[in-house]
Structure 1
């Protein structure tokens, strides 16, 4: 795999796992999931591996690269969904390690990757991206059990293509063909590999596992300022900023009474005053809906009156209690929901939350993650309050 120009080595934020990643029955090997995030050279990270459990907290002060790690994870997810490289990295130079020097051709770049576990065992994906002078994927490797299943390399810089070789194990050991340099090659394999030999079938199975694991992602960062306003009735799928929470409640309260009851129970812990129900009601002649708390005595409180912590807590609890059918996520529709494991990426998970809200939200996350169909990777400034929570993996980051 042709690498981008190397950056001078410097100390990286060292993740230290302080809790086991294996939570017993929560680890369901049949469900593809990302178990490692590899940041070989990405922004402020050099040679960093994040081991991810069912419930993972990236903890550290500002500037340690928590948000950067989540951004890299989201970028991989979008590439796995077939998004073009330029859309995924609109400012690619910001992803290049700060002290990386250009080579003789004035090229600089970055490296990211991940490991996805599942029925095929651990499958590793590594990507080398050239950010300057023009954005392109210059190398990609998909491997499992020490066997390279797909490898691409830039052979002719004048062409907008890379040379790809994938494992065949038939009359010829590998099949070679050009692939575009602005898309993830692994995402194109199902359209290019015939699947007529055992080797090709293995390539397809590994690629499918990686793509299912990557695409089952929902980045979530609730924006209280936008959640307070009434919203139009739409498709009832929650956006990453949760500004359409009222529209989602309009749908989910009737569709799943059991989970809605669990959400109301969570609200009683995270919101001030009595809470009998959380619902959406028509507004502005039925053109809009707004979310309100039913206080149980005939009084109702609109979300406009709630604090930022209450709103973020409400939105995150709703995310944990729902699933791909409710969240605006690019999940693989061809895979049954029972075979998917959704990963929620929550930047600033503890932002604006008081101690009681943090504890209640983490306890809810632990319960939901234990079931095996949802995972959480959250960034927090400090994780001492998470000590002792079963199944939680805390990764401590530090400034250089």
Structure 2
């Protein structure tokens, strides 16, 4: 058999602060840009909804209450912040329109979403209005910071594929106007349009860059046990959202960082049945690997034998203990890692987990989020089991 060679360490990956011993009093964390509120003014089943987001947030509610759609809205904003088109961020825009929304005289229907990013520039608000029918396009966008409108766009001529934009510049010319594409987020394009010569321009740039950095580093995941059980090709080792390639990621990460891997083994041991001395990938034919648990007595348990809860638990632990260099995310490469925050969006965070697994996973998440380099927004059916855990923000959603 041909054994795939382990990829070289990713030197661009952010270090894992949870694995590095620190002083008794940890140093002050950088004022990293982070999303502190998600607004769904009119999106899918949400109307006039605003969700506060802490470092570890649980969206709790029964099926049909809109937890997954809230995560989809957050992910779409993140993709727009990274430069994606509307079509890439909203592949099925008709499902984003509120069900009872009536078309206007021109047969137009749409949705409205927004968020707030906090950081060095203070609270910055972004709100966008999107037309989904008959054509997908931005019809309005507003970026504000502590009162003044820094960017405002509006669709003036439906026959053109642009919106009219006005951004704050102060000085002799208080406002600059110009066209922007109607299929992208104007805020993400401002660094290409604003020179930054005046205090007003620098304020606009600081707010726009804070919003983009806060949005971009997002990893949306929902582990699918059925995809995790079989062998996979040995590739670059970047974890996908369904965690189906967990074996190739273990092949890479076990060789790269022993401390981080030891923490993963300890977490898996705490949440899986039986003894666990290692979690690793083994060769499975030419160029393929398969994940397994080392029981420590010469017995190997293939991941295919584990239950759904064990697989989801192990995958979520891996997500929390690794970094942007391993997860399939789009970090802001021009910003030092110390000033970025990775946000994990975990749908069905408690799905198939037993009480012990939920408790262990929440404890791990709380410890990792406390460090400041990672935030978690998870959807759960019930959050009573999280009561009393420090640092957890619970947002209750009602089906009605």
Give TM class, smaller chain: over 0.9
Structure 2 equivalent of residue 227 of structure 1 = 228
> Which runs of structure 1 show a deviation greater than 2 angstroms over 4 or more consecutive aligned residues?
25-29
Q: Aligned to 1:369, what secondary structure does the other structure show?
A: helix
Shift of 1:334: 1.2
Paired residues of 1:29 and 1:119 also in contact (CA < 8 A): no
| Superposition pairs of residues 251-266 of structure 1, within 5 angstroms | 251-266=252-267
How many pairs are equivalent?
A: 376
Deviating more after overlay: 92-101 vs 56-65:
92-101
Structure 2 equivalent of residue 193 of structure 1 = 194
Paired residues of 2:30 and 2:339 also in contact (CA < 8 A): no
Structure 2 equivalent of residue 11 of structure 1 = none
Render the CA deviation track for 1:25-57: whole Å, top value 9, x for unaligned. 899561000000010110110110000000000
Render the CA deviation track for 1:100-131: whole Å, top value 9, x for unaligned. 11111111111000000000010000000011
Structure 1 equivalent of residue 213 of structure 2 = 212
Paired residues of 2:30 and 2:338 also in contact (CA < 8 A): no
Query: Structure 1 residues 63, 28: CA separation in 2 closer, same or farther (over 3 Å shift)?
Result: farther
Shift of 1:90: 1.9
Q: Aligned to 2:135, what secondary structure does the other structure show?
A: coil
Query: Structure 1 residues 27, 45: CA separation in 2 closer, same or farther (over 3 Å shift)?
Result: farther
Paired residues of 1:237 and 1:326 also in contact (CA < 8 A): yes
Counterpart-to-counterpart distance in 1, 2:199 and 2:384: 49
Shift of 1:86: 1.2
Structure 1 equivalent of residue 358 of structure 2 = 358
* Long gaps (5+) in structure 1: 1-24
Counterpart-to-counterpart distance in 2, 1:339 and 1:86: 30
TM-score (normalizing by structure 1) = 0.92
Please say if 1:280 is aligned against 2:281. yes
| Superposition pairs of residues 134-213 of structure 1, within 5 angstroms | 134-213=135-214
* Long gaps (5+) in structure 2: 1-25
TM-score (normalizing by structure 2) = 0.92
Shift of 1:170: 2.4
Structure 2 equivalent of residue 22 of structure 1 = none
Structure 1 equivalent of residue 63 of structure 2 = 62
Paired residues of 1:120 and 1:205 also in contact (CA < 8 A): yes
Render the CA deviation track for 1:174-226: whole Å, top value 9, x for unaligned. 11000010000001111111111111111111100000000011001101100
Query: Structure 1 residues 27, 142: CA separation in 2 closer, same or farther (over 3 Å shift)?
Result: farther
Render the CA deviation track for 1:142-178: whole Å, top value 9, x for unaligned. 0000011000000111101000000111220011000
Q: Aligned to 2:50, what secondary structure does the other structure show?
A: strand
Structure 2 equivalent of residue 90 of structure 1 = 91
